[in-house]
Each structure stands twice: as C-alpha cells, then as structure tokens.
Chain A
Amino acid sequence: MRLTRGTGTSFVGGAERHASRSLVGLFVPVAAIGAVLALVPIWLGDSRLMMGLAIGGLLFGCYAIAFNIIFGSTGQLFLSVGALAGIGGYGAALLGDRVGLPLIASVIVATLAAGLAGGVLSWIAVRRSLDVIFTGIVTLIFALAFENLLLGLGGVTGGESGLSVDTGSATFLREQIPPYYLFLGLVLLYLIVHGLLRRSHIGWAFRALRDDEVAAELAGVNVARYRIYGGLIGAAMLGMAGAIYAINEGRISPTTFGFGEVDVVVLVMLAFGGIGTLFGPVLGAVVFTVLDELLIEFGQLRVVAYGALIIVLFLWIPRGVLPTFGSLLRRLVSRRDTRVVDRSGEEGETVDVT
C-alpha cells in the first residue's frame, strides 16, 4: 500500500483514471448490469425468501454505492451508514404511521432528514478539521447513540422489538417481485448519479481533494463545501434506500440498521469490490450476498468467516478486486512496466528500515 497525502487514499483504486469521459462509458455498463440483474427474479421469483435475500443484496448495493461516495470520493470515514439509513427507515415509518403523511411524502422527508444528518456530520468534521480517526470515532458515536436512542425511546420506536410498518402495506412494495425492480432501479440510479458526479466538476473537486487536500485548496477547491456535498448526497441516498426498505419489509428494528449488521458488511463489500471505483460496490454486494447465503448454515462461524475475510482482504487486496485485477490485466496486456510512479514524499518522510 502506498501512502499518499490526503485522506485514506491508499485504499483507492486507480480504475477511475481510465474512466471513459463519454457518457456511453457510463450508461452501457450500467445498462448491462441492469439487464443481468433483471433476470434474477426469473430464477428466484418463486421463493419469497430468496427474493427477500435478493432485495437485501440490492439494498446493500445501494448502501455501498452511497458509502463509496462519502468515503471513496471525499475521504470521510463515516461509520454511521446503518444509522443514516435508519433515519430514513424509521423516519419514513413514523411519518407514515404516526404522523399520517402520504407514502411518497414520508419517504422524501425521511430522505431529506438523513441527508441533513449526513451533511451536518460532514460540516462538523470539516469545521473542526477532524482527521480520519476522529471522523470515524465521531460518526461511530453517532451510530451508537442513534441505536441507543432507538432502544431507549421505546414508546416511539418500539424499542428492541422494533416497529411494524403499516404505511405502504397496500402498495406493490409489499409484493414479492416488484420491489426487486424498484431496488434495482435505485441501484442503477445511484450508479448513474455517482458516475455523473465523477464526470462533473464536482467529481473533479472530489478527486483533487482526495489526492492532496492542500494542493486542492490552493487550486481553489473549497474542500469544505465538497466534503459537505459528499456527506449530504451520500447520506440522502442511504436514507432513501433505508426508507424504501422499511416500507418493503413491513418491520424494522434497531438491528436492521445496526453498526455490526450494516456498516461492517458495507465496508467489506466496498473493500472487496474496490473503494473509489464505480462498480466495485455492486460487485461487492453481489458476491457477499451470495456468500452470506452460502454460509448461513454455519451460524456463529459465519461471523468468524467475515472477520477472517476482512483480514485477508485488507492485507492482500487492499485496493479491492476491481483495481487489483484491473492493473493485473493492464500489465498483461501492455507488457511494459505500468507501475505508476508516485509523487515522492516530502523530504521528511521515512521508509521503515527496521
């Protein structure tokens, strides 16, 4: 792993350097992914259980893409992915059931609430110049506090046993197959949003601030503003996904959006696929959803397997599958030494000689 200045950049894959500038380079792969995943219900559509798992996989794909924007693009280690999705989920459920808002309004307001929370978290991190570890700790604290609030305010949130979500129960969202396509649409939408972001001036700013914050500031990039954008957009995406899922499932509880259940999984998925790449999150989500299902019979050992996987992944494929295989392929194809020469460090940097 290389240390480069900036935030968490050593994990970021280089695939985007070769991203096609044209929109075709974005829409074609997205459409292909959509086409392939659209076929899944043909195969699994009979089983409610299987479709539920598939929807879960797409949900995590959405989470992973959103987290990719927050962490991969703007370098903010938000350890509150689950909590932000939970704001969306619980928000939509409570707004729909208790406050009586129509379904779509509930989802929109919940999404905005999540987005706001994410934006505030970013704003705080930026204002206090929090580095990665402190951003991580603060967002972790937020996640733990949120989960605790859910447990504690039982009167409103149903506490440990959770809430049943009545709103939307009459719609197609409770059926077996249609929600799958809604979630698929969401994944594709998120991919397109991310892809367009990367191609826009916002994406340019993201790349600049991730590579070298100081240089970016000097070049006129308002690092603060773009970090907040990243937090806002990513969090809103998490909230929307969480909201729709809550309505689809009909039942949510604190564990639906807990740190161990969501954040860790998303982290692994993204790390596997490739942080910073466009399609990494989708690859990670697919692989791990399948893997999770395969491992289900192992009970507690499943957790062990996840832990071992995290360790193996970050030791040996730190940049993720897509970038690693991408460079391997490129090297095979070109035959030249394609090793990218990194900027040399400042004069004071040490290579560990011990």
Chain B
Amino acid sequence: MTAAILDGIVLGLQFGILAVGLTLVYGLGGVLNLAYGHMAVVAALVVSLTMEAGLPAAGAVGVGLFAGGLFGLLLNSTLLRAVYRLRGEARVLLSLLLTLGVAFVVDGLLLWRYPTEALSLHIGGDAVEILGVPIRSGSLLASGIAFFAFVALFLFFRATTLGKAVRSIIQDEEGARLVGIDPNRMRTLILVLSGMLAGLVAVTRSMTSPVTVTQGISFTIFALIVTVVGGLGSVAGAFLAGILLGIVNTVSSFYIGTFLTYIILLGAAALTILLRPSGLLGVPE
C-alpha cells in the first residue's frame, strides 16, 4: 500500500504539472486546448530524435522543451488569434474545435512519419529506499523535477511582477489592461510556458515508462481530468488534484484494475463538475 501511495505521488506530481499547462491556458478566458497532450508528445519526439542524432540527454531535453514552447508560440500567434477575437461561449467552442483539428493534424503526421518512435530516458543509479519502499532513480528524479517545477511556478506567480501580471490576466482581463498589461504578450507567455510544461512532463514520464507518439490523446485527457478537479485556472488546484488523483490512480489500479480505475478518474472529474464546478481550489463563479 505504501508503495502504491508513493508511486501515486510520483505520478501525481507529474499529472499536476501537466495540468498546470492546461489550466493556465483555460484561464485565458475559456480557451480549451485539446491539442495539449500532443504538445507533450511532440516535445518527446524532438528529444528522442535529437538524442538519436547524437546530442547528450541534457541538451536534447533542452531542445525538447524549446520545441514545446515553440509549439505554444505558433499556436498562439496563428489559430488562437481567431479565438481571442471572440468572447464567452463562442470562444470556448472555437478553441475546442480548432485545437481538436490541430490534435488530428499532429496525430496524423506523427503516426505517418514516426509511428514507432518512443522516448525513454534511462536514469542510472540504484533504487533509493523511502519509507521501506524502493523507489527507482528514474521516479525519484521525475518527481524531484516536478516538485521543483511547482516551487518555481509558485515563486514565479506569487513573487514576481510578471507572474502577478499573468495571474491578473487570468482573473480579470480588462482589469489587467487598465493597469497597463498587454494581454497579447501575456497570452504568448502563457502559451509558451504551457508548451514547455507539457514537454517537461513528457520528459519526466519517459524516465519511468516510454512515451510513444500515440499517447497524445491520453495526456490531454489526464490533464483535463486533473484540471477539472483542481479547478479551471488554479495552479495550486492542479497541484493538489494531481497528487490526489495520482494516488487514486495507482492505489486503485493496484487493487481494482486499470479499467475501473479509468472510470473512477473520469467519475471524479464528472462529480466535480456536478457538485462543485469550480473545482477544489478554483474560484466559484
């Protein structure tokens, strides 16, 4: 049981970071990025290809993160422009549909050109014992990176002016404009950050299990579930929900099986929407 819980935390931290990328973009006034998981997968692919080309792992990871950020940048400056011109429901619908299209395009291209590529980062070193449970070095590094990322994000959003500016755009776009914040620049920043976070999680996941090009959709769905439970637009919520759902995932998979576990996770998201739509830590509308 302890092993399952610890594994759950490892997984959960990564789910959480993944969700942060999605939740931030949603905070931009209802932009739902259904191509999010694909951003992660593309980053993983880039890392894999770069490593095959001879670059050492660390450098390849850097290139991968850059690719993720670039994806976000491109998405923001092309398709999302049409989305930003709208408000409310129309914005949500269009973002949903356009990013769905992107998801298909990327999925198809990846499967066509690199159907068998998978990213797997082997982290050397012996397993470390925590609470009597051996934790592989890969898991340790992955959770360490995820945790560090959360701390960095927390500091960024709370302590820096730029971070506060990003939060302000999410909380009230007009109010932000009134203090001189340019929404376009903030959106670009958020999208780039979101892409990099997606890439980061793809890399950390690959430390424990291979990340294949077919996993785009499942990344998106997991990110969506965590985002919904944590609260759309809340970074702290993503952290909390990530860990909780990570633990639920592993414990439930261990005792009940994967099929039912998936349904439980989906159910958690559905229940959140029905009972407390603002999520665990989101702001009630």
Contacts and interface: CB of A to CB of B under 8 A. Distances in A.
Nearest to A135: B273
A291 interface: no
Given A8-B90, A310-B104, A137 B269 contact: yes
B72 interface: no
A302 B228 CA distance: 32
Given A137-B273, A311-B101, A1 B266 contact: no
Contact of A311 (B86, B105, B182, B217): B105
Interface in A231-281: 260, 264, 267, 271
Interface in B247-273: 259-260, 262-263, 266-267, 269-270, 273
Contacts of A352: 84-85
Interface in A118-147: 124, 128, 130-134, 136-138, 141-142, 144-145
A308 B174 CA distance: 33
Interface stretch (A39-47, A82-90, A148-156): A148-156
Given A134-B273, A138-B274, A303 B104 contact: yes
Given A300-B108, A354-B184, A310 B98 contact: yes
Interface string A274-313: 0000000000000000000000000111111111111100
A306 B108 CA distance: 9
Given A132-B89, A141-B267, 11 more contacts: A3-B87, A8-B90, A137-B224, A260-B217, A307-B104, A310-B101, A311-B79, A315-B82, A315-B98, A352-B85, A354-B182
B221 interface: yes
B174 A307 contact: no
Nearest to A353: B177
Interface residues of A, number: 49
A11 interface: yes
B162 to A, nearest CB: 19
B93 A8 contact: yes
Contacts of B267: 141, 145
A344 interface: no
Nearest to B97: A314
B262 A148 contact: yes
B62 interface: no
Interface in B47-105: 79, 82, 84-90, 92-94, 96-98, 100-105
B109 interface: yes
A20 interface: no
Contact of B263 (A11, A132, A145): A145
Given A1-B90, A352-B84, A303 B107 contact: yes
A54 B228 CA distance: 40
B283 interface: no
A354 B267 CA distance: 40
A327 B41 CA distance: 42
Interface string B216-259: 01000100100010000000000000000000000000000001
Contacts, number: 133
A310 B96 CA distance: 11
Contacts of A130: 273, 277
A350 B184 CA distance: 16
6 closest A-B pairs by beta carbon, nearest first, are A307-B104, A152-B259, A303-B108, A310-B101, A304-B108, A307-B105
Nearest to B264: A145
A10 interface: yes
A342 interface: no
Interface in A328-354: 349-350, 352, 354
A76 to B, nearest CB: 12
Contacts of A304: 104-105, 108-109, 112
Contacts of A1: 86, 90, 94
User: Interface majority SS on A: helix, strand, loop or mixed?
Assistant: helix
Given A10-B86, A315-B98, A354-B182, A133 B104 contact: no
A10 B87 CA distance: 11
A306 B106 CA distance: 11
A10 to B, nearest CB: 4
Interface of A: 1, 3, 7-8, 10-11, 77, 124, 128, 130-134, 136-138, 141-142, 144-145, 148-149, 151-152, 260, 264, 267, 271, 299-311, 314-315, 318, 349-350, 352, 354
Contacts of B106: 307
Given A144-B266, A151-B259, A354-B184, A306 B86 contact: no
Given A133-B32, A315-B82, A308 B263 contact: no
A135 B271 CA distance: 13
Nearest to A299: B112
A133 B30 contact: yes
A132 B87 contact: no
A91 to B, nearest CB: 19
Contacts of A8: 89-90, 93
Contacts of A134: 273, 277
B263 A148 contact: yes
Contact of B270 (A138, A300, A301): A138
A311 B98 contact: yes
B228 A137 contact: yes
A303 B86 CA distance: 28
Instruction: Count chain A CB atoms within 10 A of each CB in B101, B111, B224, B270 and give the residue with the most.
Output: B101
A274 B190 CA distance: 34
A36 B215 CA distance: 43
B183 interface: yes
Contacts of A138: 270, 273-274
26 contacts: A3-B86, A3-B89, A10-B93, A130-B273, A132-B92, A137-B273, A141-B266, A142-B270, A144-B221, A144-B266, A148-B266, A152-B259, A152-B263, A271-B97, A300-B109, A303-B105, A303-B107, A304-B109, A306-B104, A307-B102, A308-B101, A310-B101, A311-B79, A311-B98, A352-B85, A354-B182
